[in-house]
Structure 1
Amino acid sequence: MRRITRTITTLALSAAMAAAALTAVVTPPPAQASGACSNSGTGIPLPFDFGSLGFPRGGAAQGPQKPLPHFDNGRTKTISWVTGPLSRNKTFTRFGISGTDVGVAWDNGRGQTLMAFGDTFGNCLRQDRGWRNNTLLRSTDTNLENGLTLQRRGYAGPMFGAFGFSGIEKTKIPTAGISIGGKQYVNYMSVRAWGPPSRWFTNYSATAVSSNNGRSWFTPQSTIRVNAGVDVALPAGWPSVNHVNPLFQQSAYLKGVGDDAGWVYQYGTPNGRFGAAHIARFRPGDILDPGKYQYWTGTRWAGGAARPAAIVRGPVTELSVAWSPYLNKYVMLDSPNGVKLRTANHPQGPWSAGRRIAPSSLELYAPMMLPSSPALRGTGPELYFNASRWDDYNVALIRTKVR
């Protein structure tokens, strides 16, 4: 049994190292990218059928985006589209983006908001649909009540490439971002293949680094966390093969404050949208060395040999976490059935029961808080977040009030 386990781990490790070696952009063949405009790459339950929408087969050039549904219940309100041809940012003509999702947001350390998006497509009438594994956009907008304005213009190229073949590596999706010491760090998952709705399979998660504000990225092999679920001792600088890795295939970053200051916290969930959330912590200078991470066991912080305890029971979906000086609490968003908000006094919890702040009828997923929100600056109760919509496969700006 040990020999079989090591063989499986070796295969997974080889795939992870080969995929991570793709530091240059790799464009998948047209046959692999052809599903992007039909939304086959996201694993969400409502794939587009352009024929039923009245578009010519193969997709309309600008994709399936429709006007953003109006919603305002006094606490939560849909503000505007962030991406898509119907957005105020006109991302189809400015950035070559008809559809995208996720929109992980963080402050770059100088007051600029960086946003990393997942699978992105452009002109849906092109053979390759203008498909990219991921993209990065920027904003300095702090007045979000009338929408989020993106900076500059020009074709938005991919952050980092992938093989582009299902069963090996279909794509790489950013799940978390943080700025430390003037550098940008993005945690991403290497998706091996998309499965049934809300299920997908990963090779590994890893952390990419940028020293030039996101214009180029590099993935140190030491940050690769192979999704094998076993422990294998490897030399320093090699990918990690550890039993905790499957719990951290998708992530969210948080900088601690008060008694929790001096630590960076990483929240993790397994691949897909049905697992529980766990938490690790590390010193800022150790972000590229998972061997120095500590894990919450339910009673204490312990090293990589620990058995982490779930801090929020599943299903937990793509999530974001931040400190709110307005509430004097940590805030967590995810979207298992509508968008839910939780609070805690410490990063590891205990976390409150999820309070639904947006109904499932809005079809939102991947709620990613914006660092310029008043609730995260201590100037008011308004919390703004990016959220993707199933039908339109684009990112919208949503506002809620945390109190």
Structure 2
Amino acid sequence: MGAVVEFKRWIAGVSGSIRNTEWRAVVSRRYGSRMRRFSKVCDLTGPGTSSCNFDVVGTDLGIPVELPGGRELAWIFGDTFSGVAPGTPGWRSPVLLRSADQPLEDGVEFCSCAGKGQARRLVRGSNRGRTTWLPADAITIGDATYLFAMRNDGLHNVTQTRIFASTDAGESWKKTRAKWSGKHDAGNMQLITWVQGPPEDNWIYVFSTGFQRNKPLFLYRVAVDDVTNPKAWVPWGWTEDTGWRWGNTATPVLTGQFGEMSLRRVDGKYVLVWFDAGGYQIQAMVLDHPTDNLFETRQYTLLRGTSWEDENHAVGDVAQLYGGYIVPGSTLDDLHISVSQWNTTTNKVYKAMLFHGSLPR
């Protein structure tokens, strides 16, 4: 029962990843006129799914990343429990499941985990007292996979971020020299998403924000070979003298209330998907380049938040939704995303799901 007590202490003062007041305040409003009507493919986790084979029952996030070799995907989850609900035994975070390369329209079947039978926590020292390490995003470069994770000492109180590296298909992870205080750049580089440019581009592009769902979006880049060198991360900023330029002080590239996000290259474009906490919806943009003017870029609503009574996953109406991670293998005509849901009132629903739909070219 120790883990249960510690988790309840950790979430004291908040109701969960989606606060009740956060979604109730906007449930009657409809933002984003460009609705794409994404629909549900399947549950990724929870009772009756293959995640249970690895003692992953109640969990969220599910950040998919292609592992070296391209034959398997890793799915990295956040706070994980042996029971359906947060606060049940077996608290671990983050954890990793693997799936073989397969048609996404058939759903996802997990075939292995990081750990011996039971998916174990990837970061040593997580889930002690009020501390949990939560994944932000992962990327594979050559023979290594890198995980950007946030240390939370109490939910949304990020005290440190760090990059961990694995060279054995996500089985074990080691600290790299890349770490930052939670206060770095005024707390605007806590939650990130990243993507490597095309072969002729030697940069990794990083969108970042805070983890409180009340901050705008910022942009950085780092050379591929320097991803674990914190001094090599260069902000994109604007001044009256220079205009937009790399190396200026970081300037918001888009205002709003950003939550979890996912930046990936899809069909030669850069696609950004994110949880819009202010609008209670999952949004997307299709970009030619991360430095595009996001203020003038069309946004698309993939999923809309709704009440539990009005849910309809077939038409993209989802209660207490968050996340929104692009699955490798997606195309603009058939984009798959991992989306989370937590009923913070009853605590009976806490899972990751797979949705799909299309975006314009």
Aligned counterparts, 1:272-287, within 5 A: 272-287=212-227
Moved more, 142-151 or 125-134: 125-134
CA–CA distance in 1 between the matches of 2:299 and 2:40?
20
Aligned counterparts, 1:94-105, within 5 A: 94-105=53-64
Change (3 A) 1:314 1:31: same
**Equivalent residues of 2:68, 2:169 under 8 A apart:** no
Larger proportion of strand: 2
2:31 maps to which residue? none
Change (3 A) 1:227 1:216: same
1:295-344: CA deviation from partner (whole Å, max 9, x where unpaired): 111444434xx31111221211110011121xx42111112121111122
Change (3 A) 1:223 1:245: farther
CA–CA distance in 2 between the matches of 1:163 and 1:74?
38
CA–CA distance in 2 between the matches of 1:39 and 1:213?
37
Q: Equivalent residue of 1:219, what SS?
A: strand
1:385 maps to which residue? 337
Identity of aligned pairs, percent? 21
Residue 160 of structure 2 corresponds to residue 204 of structure 1: yes
Aligned counterparts, 1:49-64, within 5 A: none
**Equivalent residues of 1:96, 1:155 under 8 A apart:** yes
1:210-236: CA deviation from partner (whole Å, max 9, x where unpaired): 12111111112x31110234xxxxxxx
2:101 maps to which residue? 141
- Counterpart among 339, 348, 352 of residue 291 in structure 2: 348
**Equivalent residues of 1:251, 1:266 under 8 A apart:** yes
Q: TM-score, normalised by structure 1?
A: 0.72
Residue 43 of structure 2 corresponds to residue 81 of structure 1: yes
Aligned counterparts, 1:169-208, within 5 A: 170-194=131-155, 200-208=156-164
Q: Equivalent residue of 1:106, what SS?
A: strand
Deviation at 1:371, TM superposition (A): 0.7
- Counterpart among 53, 66, 70 of residue 107 in structure 1: 66
1:160 maps to which residue? 123
Q: What letter matches 2:122 in structure 1?
A: M
Change (3 A) 1:28 1:215: farther
Q: TM-score, normalised by structure 2?
A: 0.80
1:340-363: CA deviation from partner (whole Å, max 9, x where unpaired): 111221112223242212111203
Residue 202 of structure 2 corresponds to residue 228 of structure 1: no
> Unpaired runs of 5+ in structure 1?
1-26, 48-72, 195-199, 230-243, 376-380
CA–CA distance in 2 between the matches of 1:246 and 1:345?
28
2:190 maps to which residue? 249
CA–CA distance in 2 between the matches of 1:130 and 1:35?
15
Q: What letter matches 1:368 in structure 2?
A: Y
Q: What letter matches 1:315 in structure 2?
A: Q
Q: Equivalent residue of 2:106, what SS?
A: coil
Moved more, 207-216 or 29-38: 29-38
> Unpaired runs of 5+ in structure 2?
22-34, 307-317, 344-348
Q: Equivalent residue of 2:112, what SS?
A: coil
Change (3 A) 1:135 1:291: same
2:231 maps to which residue? 291
2:27 maps to which residue? none
Change (3 A) 1:321 1:354: same
CA–CA distance in 2 between the matches of 1:38 and 1:395?
23
Q: How many residue pairs are counted as aligned between the two chains?
A: 317
Change (3 A) 1:255 1:170: same
CA–CA distance in 2 between the matches of 1:212 and 1:320?
24
CA–CA distance in 2 between the matches of 1:277 and 1:258?
26
**Equivalent residues of 2:62, 2:77 under 8 A apart:** yes
Higher relative contact order (CA 8 A, sep 6+): 2
Q: Equivalent residue of 2:259, what SS?
A: coil
Q: Which has the larger radius of gyration?
A: 1
1:184-211: CA deviation from partner (whole Å, max 9, x where unpaired): 10001000112xxxxx111011100112
Superposition CA RMSD, Å? 2.8
Change (3 A) 1:107 1:164: closer
CA–CA distance in 2 between the matches of 1:293 and 1:106?
22
Q: What letter matches 1:204 in structure 2?
A: Q
**Equivalent residues of 1:142, 1:373 under 8 A apart:** no
Change (3 A) 1:29 1:97: closer
**Equivalent residues of 1:33, 1:129 under 8 A apart:** no
**Equivalent residues of 2:36, 2:302 under 8 A apart:** no
